[in-house]
Structure 1
Amino acid sequence: MSPDDPEPPDDESRRRRRPGDQEPESIQPSRPETAGDYDDGPDTAEFLPPEIPESELAGLRIPSRGAPVGPRTVVPLEEEPSSLVSRYLFPTEKFRGEWRKHWIHLVKEFLIGAIATFVIGWATGFTAKHDQKVIVSFLLIVWVAVMVYVSWRIADWYFDRFILTNKRIMVVNGMVTRTVGMMPLTRVTDMKYQQSALGRMLNYGTFVVESAGQDQALRRVPTLPNPNELYLRIVEEMYEPEAVEARLAQVPDDPGPDA
């Protein structure tokens, strides 16, 4: 018998095992709890990755636009400027957005129109009972004049625009007499926006812009809507223009036929 041959069981082990007893099973090495299911082969076992719940993967995914999920939701930019704004942009300038002032800017005009309608209506009815036709006609003329003024102010508000491009910020004022003010982004040395308690409730604010020069075309722009989003857009355009271009260059994936 060669030294490599297995030794036969001794007599003591034979006496302990009785007829009908099964062979003792070999102890298998413990498997890690995170191993998942195994496909046992003749010599090797395949290790499968652990299953991660969908709820945990949702916070790690990146949307189709390529921007990581964060606390800020970027409002989509307008693709093209309006006809009112496009005439003031040169061909190589990249349009970033235009905004009208918040409707709170017209509160005074609305109050004037409402109070004038109530007072003149009451006075017209009172004088009509006393057959004062001349006074009634005068009151109607006053009411029409007040309504024309209110309508003029509303139209003027509609044509006022705050404009942002990759080169400058602009303000366009006036319906008949037009005023166009601009400031290059490279000359902006300081910028802030102010919000009152009502402004925070209704989401509007006043922008204050400081420039390197002393003569500033637009220093204070009141009652602009969404001031925080507008502030971030201007700052991003000033300091991270490449990030803006990268975000705008991302095209959402086309949905499949089953989407």
Structure 2
Amino acid sequence: MSPTYLKRLLGDNEQILLTTHQHWIVLIEQILVEIVLAALTIILVTIFLISGSGNPSIALGYLLVIIPLVSLIRDVLKWWNHQYVVTNLRVIQITGIFNKNVIDSSLEKVNDVRMVQSVIGRFLNFGDIEVLTASEMGINRFTRIANPIHFKTIMLNAKIRLEDQVREVTSEASIYAIPDLIERLDALKQKGLITEEEFKEKKAALLAKIQ
């Protein structure tokens, strides 16, 4: 997939942390039939030529190899364009060679991550990941993804950093709002709605937050 297309999907201040694909075993399963058909075609045409039939048109049979080769190229492009991307804000799944299908899950809405690895998956380092979110989509499934533990770690670390940034901004916003709150308390005191002692107590508590 063109890096330019992926960059166009990114928002302001969004950075790519990881880009990966399904495991190579998925590609092998998809192209194995095409490889076998291409090999059989070459073998059969070669046998007919060697048998001495004397018909040179038999060599045209090699053109039949084009059919499985075209299918093989299509499967390779399909696998290559099926990408899983982790950014500092979300997880993106992109499929399609020409017509693109993009599904993303905001890290802020991710509630849980489930990973499943079979014995073969642990040996070859692939597995399934389910991202449970609070969005309408609910669950985003990544099947037989390469190096799922690394993918999960990168995603969860990005989520933690994002949550820390949100808490930091919220805390700063509260600090900047403290002078306004003190002014409102003073106004309540002037109106006789709170006592001088209550005003001093609440003012001290607010000032303690910025020390």
**Normalising by the residue count of structure 1, what TM-score does the alignment of the two structures yield?**
0.55
Shift of 1:131: 4.8
Is contact 2:23–2:126 with CA below 8 Å preserved after alignment?
yes
Partner of 1:175: 97
Shift of 1:232: 1.5
- Correspondence list, 1:114-133, <5 A: 114-128=35-49, 129=51, 130-131=53-54
Q: Where do 5+ consecutive residues of structure 2 fail to align?
A: 166-211
Q: How many residues align?
A: 162
Letter in 1 for 2:131: V
Instruction: Please point out which of 143, 147, 157 is paired with 2:69.
Output: 147
Shift of 1:113: 3.2
Letter in 1 for 2:6: V
For residues 29-81 of structure 1, the C-alpha deviation after alignment (integer angstroms, 9 at most, x for no partner) is: xxxxxxxxxxxxxxxxxxxxxxxxxxxxxxxxxxxxxxxxxxxxxxxxxxxx9
Partner of 2:147: 226
For residues 74-132 of structure 1, the C-alpha deviation after alignment (integer angstroms, 9 at most, x for no partner) is: xxxxxxx9434211101222332211222112112342233113211222123333356
**d(CA) in 1 for partners of 2:55 and 2:130?**
53
**d(CA) in 1 for partners of 2:116 and 2:94?**
21
Q: Which has the larger radius of gyration?
A: 1
Aligned partner of residue 172 in structure 1, secondary structure: strand
For residues 128-174 of structure 1, the C-alpha deviation after alignment (integer angstroms, 9 at most, x for no partner) is: 3335666653x434321111111121122222221112221101112
**d(CA) in 2 for partners of 1:94 and 1:204?**
25
**d(CA) in 1 for partners of 2:30 and 2:131?**
27
Letter in 2 for 1:162: Y
Letter in 2 for 1:92: N
Identity percentage of aligned residues: 20
Aligned partner of residue 14 in structure 2, secondary structure: coil
Partner of 2:10: 89
Instruction: Please point out which of 94, 111, 116 is paired with 1:194.
Output: 116
Is contact 2:18–2:85 with CA below 8 Å preserved after alignment?
yes
**d(CA) in 1 for partners of 2:41 and 2:155?**
47
Root-mean-square deviation (CA, aligned residues, Å) is 2.7
Between structures 1 and 2, the one with greater helix share: 2
Letter in 2 for 1:172: I
Partner of 2:27: 106
Between structures 1 and 2, the one with greater strand share: 2
For residues 230-259 of structure 1, the C-alpha deviation after alignment (integer angstroms, 9 at most, x for no partner) is: 111212222344779xxxxxxxxxxxxxxx
Letter in 1 for 2:96: G
Are the structure 2 counterparts of residues 193 and 134 from structure 1 closer, same or farther at C-alpha, using a change threshold of 3 Å?
farther
Q: Where do 5+ consecutive residues of structure 1 fail to align?
A: 1-80, 245-259
**d(CA) in 2 for partners of 1:132 and 1:168?**
62
Aligned partner of residue 93 in structure 2, secondary structure: strand
Are the structure 2 counterparts of residues 242 and 214 from structure 1 closer, same or farther at C-alpha, using a change threshold of 3 Å?
closer
Letter in 1 for 2:110: V
Per chain length, whose mean CA-contact separation is higher, i.e. which structure has more relative contact order (CA < 8 Å, sep 6+)? 2
Partner of 1:215: 137
Partner of 1:65: none
Partner of 2:160: 239
**d(CA) in 2 for partners of 1:203 and 1:223?**
9
Are the structure 2 counterparts of residues 140 and 235 from structure 1 closer, same or farther at C-alpha, using a change threshold of 3 Å?
same
